[in-house]
Amino acid sequence: MLNIETIRSVYFVGAGGIGMSALVRYFLFKGKNVAGYDRTPSELTGELNKEGACIHYEDNVALIPENCLNKENTLVVFTPAVPHDQSELAFFRESGFEIQKRAQLLGTITRSSKGLCVAGTHGKTTTSTMIAHLLHRSHVGCTAFLGGISKNYNTNLLLSPSSPYTVIEADEFDRSFHWLSPYISVITSTDPDHLDIYGTEAAYVEGFDHYTSLTQPGGCLVMRKGITLQPRLREGVKLYTYSRDEGDFHAENIRIGKGEIVVDFVAPDTRIGDVKLGVPVSINIENGVAAMAVAHLSGVTDEEIRQGMESFRGVDRRFDFKIKSDKLVFLSDYAHHPSEIRQSILSLRILYIGRKITVVFQPHLYSRTNDFYKEFADSLSLADEVILLDIYPAREEPIPGVTSELIHQHLKPGIENSLCSKEALEDKLRNKPLDVLITLGAGDIEDYVPRISQMLENR
């Protein structure tokens, strides 16, 4: 196995993914030759090229740089979202290069540190980014590989070489999180997802059961109260519970109003009063409790926690406000699971009582739509109006009979609703009376958000 400290070159197949790009930046920081392929150019790949990576967008072995063709000193990294028969990946495999999955490499990098890992169907990115911010601003510090772009730092990689801690988003897709060895682990939720990988809900939950067995002796598992899991903890691992209102870590004296949320954070051995949430949405009360729990267990002081929570600015595409005025609110959110959509809409209901909520939703994956179209319809029906876009396929081929129409047919009566193409969305919204508008989805709906925002500001 290649030593990642002594290798000269790293080649990424799928370099533009949010998780992969953090590793690209890490190896650029390490002074390695970094190159790779991604299917399409994006703002993120453009930034990586400016930072020193060499990324191209055609699946062509001839475009692989010469300094990445020596198998004795080149590590190849790929994401499971890349097709198995991708020609560059096939070339490296047939030529005998060392090839690692993204999660395998993260496990290797963090094995010598204390990994602070956040797993769960939803809440991973916000909670892990909160943890990273709390530690990074404190005397403790951390390195962090994030699943989103932190608005505080405008990056998905934080570096504190002298800190013993590494913050990681522990992704359950393709059982990636089974490569990790957490020191402190958070599990936010286990609502079924990725059934194309796991097959059944029971197998999905079993994946989390196995993940709990990976926590290092002397570490901790911080699990949301009410999750149905059977933790398999090694000797010496402490189990804590948390939630918004109860558990070893929880919030009390919750005050919501005038665009602010203030809570008291309660831990087994301390209480931090008057913690103001920098991103005041209701789901961040629970996310914040989990983040503050990990920060507290990692040695961050009470006052550092209080100041860090107030200065947290959030993550791109996570309840991300673009326009916020008395006449119009427009925001985007990465929510792509029925439970996440429900939380997003309910948070808007609390923030904007009595106002009309219009949701634009782009379903992500044919398999997920097929598994959960009724649940998607139930969650979306909490809005006043729903505009459904075509399914974003990502890595998948179409499934016969599976379209956005499945969700459309199951929306509750009385909900304004329509089907729309991405290309026609801007025109559809241009002359529509809007009050609170949110775009939801994990696909390329985000590419349309800047144009929609500019159009709405100019109309």
Q: Are 368 and 339 in contact (CB under 8 A)?
A: no
Tell me the pLDDT band of 400, cut-offs 50, 70 and 90.
very high
Domains of the chain (ranges, CATH numbers)? 9-100 (3.40.50.720), 111-311 (3.40.1190.10), 320-458 (3.90.190.20)
Query: What pLDDT is recorded for position 74?
Result: 96
Is the Cβ–Cβ distance between 36 and 15 less than 8 Å? yes
Which helix H or strand E contains 89, and what residues bound it?
helix 87-94
* pLDDT computed for residue 112 by the predictor: 81
Global pTM reads: 0.83
Question: How many other C-beta atoms are found inside a 10 Å radius of the C-beta of residue 84?
Answer: 9
Quickly state the pLDDT bin for 356 (edges 50, 70, 90).
very high
Joined together, the tokens standing for residue 247 give 């558990």
| pLDDT range class, residue 2, cuts 50, 70, 90 | confident
Segment 431-452 mean pLDDT: 92
Reported as type and span, the H/E element at residue 293 is: helix 283-297
Give the model's pLDDT for residue 423.
Answer: 92
| DSSP 8-state secondary structure symbol assigned to residue 142 | -
Helices in 149-250 by DSSP H: which ranges? 195-198, 201-212
Mean pLDDT of the chain: 93
* φ, ψ for residue 379, nearest 5 deg: -70, -45
CA gap 371, 379 in Å, rounded:
14
Asked if the model's pLDDT at residue 340 lies above 90, the reply is no
pLDDT in tens, 130-161: 999 999 999 999 999 998 899 999 999 999 98
Is-contact 314 291, C-beta < 8 A?
no
Which band of pLDDT confidence, cut at 50, 70 and 90, is reported for residue 198? confident
Per-residue pLDDT for 259 more than 80?
no
Torsion of CA 339, 342, 343, 344, to 10 degrees: 120
Percent of the chain whose predicted confidence (pLDDT) is above 70: 100
Q: For residue 66, which phi and psi values (nearest 5 degrees)?
A: -60, -35
Residue type, 125: T
Q: Look at residue 194 and tell me whether its pLDDT is greater than 80.
A: no
